[in-house]
Amino acid sequence: MILGVSINVRETMQKINIKGKILFDVPLKDHTTLKAGGPADIYAVPEDVYDLMLMMKALTECSISYYPLGAGSNVLVTDSGFRGCIIDMSRFQNISVRGLYICAGAGIRLERIIREAASRGLTGVEHLSGIPGTFGGAVVCNAGSFGQDISASLEWADYFDSAGNLHRFHRGESPFSYRHSPFHSGEVIIEAAVRLGIGSSAEIHSRISRARNEREKRGHYSHPSAGSVFKNPPGFEISAGQLADQVGLKGFRINDAMVSEKHGNIVVNTGHASSSDISRVISVMHQRILEETGIDLEREIIYLG
């Protein structure tokens, strides 16, 4: 073995004739908003659908596991990294607007879609303002805010299944729920479309500003983080953040990993936190909330590696 992958695998991957890049031993802390975690053995950046198809075929033939990555704003990579291939979707940047529909590549940032919608007086995505993820990542995580999720406006999504076959998911085909989508079996979303409504431009811009200001107040951008650590518990009036506050977790730290002093459901990297520091803080949070309130919170941040 050389640096994680065998020479054979390295040669096979290097032989794939694609326009995009295939890299090896890439530190994932540079590709996640928490700025922590070890390397990926292989880091592929397909340029288009054809690249992605060739790559997925080669990965399947070599029995190499793969993991699509958007902006890395909802994942914590372990310090030992990922033994497989990260598929970086950042080159899927197409966007087009047709009437009430915005169709966009999976790698496009939510902010871009929100801007595009606002400039045309289209409403329905403002609540996502300030979420630092990609369109693909948002669909997979069913991202949302202020009580509204992206699934409410999602019309369709094109994706490859793990066998490399292309499909179109249509609205209503399978259920989405709070921070949960039907895409959890190795699918790679390549593009999707939202259906929006016609709104007042002034109101759309005002909702966008309010969402951003609210996030700033909650300290979302003061340090690297991955947003909410836990989902809000179903059936309770209280949020995960309020539970963390109640049991005195704000400011709790292990080395450079700390529960945000502004928001009890966010763990921030105040400097050089390792992934293990962060996951230990998260375990303490979970344990303490369970012991003191009896509520068993479910993690929202996804662990990788």
Ligand X SMILES: Cc1cc2nc3c(=O)[nH]c(=O)nc-3n(C[C@H](O)[C@H](O)[C@H](O)COP(=O)(O)OP(=O)(O)OC[C@H]3O[C@@H](n4cnc5c(N)ncnc54)[C@H](O)[C@@H]3O)c2cc1C
Catalytic residue positions, numbered: 179, 228, 300
In the block, residue with structure tokens 């659908």? 49
Taking residue 65's Cβ as centre, other Cβ atoms within 10 Å add up to 13
Q: Estimate the crossing angle of helix 201-217 against helix 110-119, to 10 degrees.
A: 150
Tell me how many residues contact ligand X (CB under 6 A).
33
For ligand X, the binding residues in 96-155 under the rule CB under 6 A are: 106, 131-134, 136-138, 140-141, 143-145
Is 10 or 224 the residue whose CB approaches ligand X more closely? 224
Is 222 or 276 the residue whose CB approaches ligand X more closely? 222
What are 145's strand-pairing partners?
A: 148
Asked if 302 touches ligand X (CB under 6 A), the answer is yes
Q: How far apart are CA 213 and CA 76, in angstroms?
A: 26
What is the closest distance, in whole angstroms, from the C-beta atom of residue 261 to ligand X in the complex?
15
Residue span 228-267 as binding mask against ligand X, x where in contact by CB under 6 A, dash where not: ----------------------------------------
Is 10 or 226 the residue whose CB approaches ligand X more closely? 226
What is the closest distance, in whole angstroms, from the C-beta atom of residue 5 to ligand X in the complex?
20
Q: Could you tell me if residue 2 is left (phi over 0), alpha (psi between -120 and 50 degrees) or otherwise beta?
A: beta
Contact 278, 271 (CB under 8 A): no
What is the closest distance, in whole angstroms, from the C-beta atom of residue 157 to ligand X in the complex?
9
Q: How far apart are CA 242 and CA 172, in angstroms?
A: 33
For ligand X, the binding residues in 42-101 under the rule CB under 6 A are: 67-75, 89
